[in-house]
Amino acid sequence: MSILSKIFSGSLSDVVESVGGIIDKSSLSKEEKQQFKLEMQSLLMQKEKELEETYRTELESRADIIKSEMAQGDAFTKRARPSIIYGGLLFIFIVHVLVPVIALIAGTPSGKIPQISLPVEFWWAWGTVVGIYGVGRSAEKMGASNRATRIMTGSNAGKIDKSKIAEG
């Protein structure tokens, strides 16, 4: 097990003991060795505390984001922000479902139903937009909050209110 995995798994005493074993082989006095071990343990505990505080702040900001999104009055933006997703779904429905159903209802023989298809450019453009939005939204949900994710999703949900952090 590496030192980093031991630190992140919370076994700081194991790390201090392993470092202490190396120190014991050095030519320091017994008091100096003990002092070094105590200082090392103190530093590692401080780093673990900082990591825990950072993680806690991130979880709180995620909870605030979810609460603010759910408190929005606009149901449209709760489901999917970019209108292009809905527009693309509407075009797909019209071309691949509605037109053939209307043709069948009108009594058009099955061999004479118009063969309409959306152009390849539509599929590339719409697929790219939906893909980028999906990647950005997944990144936001995993906690990545930066300019790129906000551009991809068209949201300000990833912004952290710095006044809240200063107060807390």
Domain coordinates in residue numbering, the chain: 1-71, 75-168
| Residues 147, 151, 154, 157, Cα dihedral to 10° | -10
Count Cβ neighbours within 10 Å for each residue of 10-24 and write b for 16 or more, e otherwise. eebeebbeebbeebe
pLDDT of residue 114: 75
What is the Cα–Cα distance from 161 to 60, expressed in whole angstroms? Answer: 11
pLDDT tens by residue, 68-115: 766 766 666 555 566 778 889 999 999 989 988 888 888 888 777 778
Q: Which residue, 6, 73, 12, 82, is CA-closest to 41?
A: 12
What is the Cα–Cα distance from 66 to 157, expressed in whole angstroms? Answer: 8
pLDDT of residue 1: 45
pLDDT of residue 147: 75
Q: What number of CA atoms fall less than 13 Å from residue 63's CA on the CB side?
A: 6
What is the Cα–Cα distance from 100 to 104, expressed in whole angstroms? Answer: 6
pLDDT tens by residue, 107-148: 888 777 778 888 999 999 889 888 888 887 787 777 777 777
